[in-house]
Structure formats: structure tokens, C-alpha cells
Amino acid sequence: MDFSQMFAALHIHYGTHKIGDLAVAMRVERPTLSGWKNREAIGPLLAHLAENDPSALSYIFSTNKGIEKAVGIVTPTIPQGRESPLFKYFSALEAIASAENREDELLEHFKNLIQKYMGKVENDYEIA
């Protein structure tokens, strides 16, 4: 999936047609969203969605044929929920972080992993 296809899927998910409306729906400033779009900055965009609207990520990367047809992509089947081989590790990390009152630290580690695997985050982007 390229950036324009992912952006189109976001418009479908939020029911918007204009970037200003999409920015409002995503709870982000319009210039920030425009900057991500112009630079095709997938890392900051996915990090924002992961923190603020995980359902949008599920929608973008779902295997819903209607979405795929609308944005012209074919998405491989990705195990989700308990079917994912990573589920037990995420569950264990979450349980430990919660028990030790270190959820914020775990969240920072996940944000860093997203940045590492999705590309460099531009200097003007700050993960909240």
C-alpha cells in the first residue's frame, strides 16, 4: 500500500472528502496533516493513529474487500487479536507495565518501535 492509498482509506474511514475535514476528524491541526501528506510521512501519521484512533489503523489494514476495491489495493491477511503470534507478548508486557504502574514507559517504547520500523519521524513532529 502506498501513501496515497492509505490516505484515501483514511478519507473513507472518517467519511471525509477534504483534508481540512479529515484533520478535524483525526483531531490534528490542518497544517500538520498537510505536512504529513506532502512529505508522505507515514511514520508520524501511523504513530498519531496508533495513539489516538487505533480503529483507523484496523480499518486501513483490514482485509475488507470494499475498502481494498475503493482504494485499489490488495492487503494480505494479517492475524489480528488473539490469532496474532505477537498477542501473548503484548499481553504480558501490558500486564507487567500495569502491575508496576509503568504504562507511560511502555507506551514510549511502543512509539519508538513504530518510529524505528515505519521510518524516521520529522523534527517538527512530536509524539504527544
Split into its structural domains, the chain has a count of 1
Q: Residue 86 and residue 72: Cα distance in Å, rounded?
A: 29
Residue 124 domain-assigned (yes or no): no
Quick check: helix, strand or coil at residue 15?
coil
What's the pTM?
0.51
* Domain carrying residue 86: 3-118
pLDDT of residue 70: 54
H and E: helices and strands count for the chain: 8, 0
Quick check: helix, strand or coil at residue 53?
coil
Residue 123 domain-assigned (yes or no): no
Residue 90 domain-assigned (yes or no): yes
Name the helix (H) or strand (E) containing 43: helix 42-52
pLDDT tens digits, 26-72: 999 999 999 999 998 888 898 899 889 888 888 887 755 455 555 55
Residue 127 domain-assigned (yes or no): no
Residue 125 domain-assigned (yes or no): no
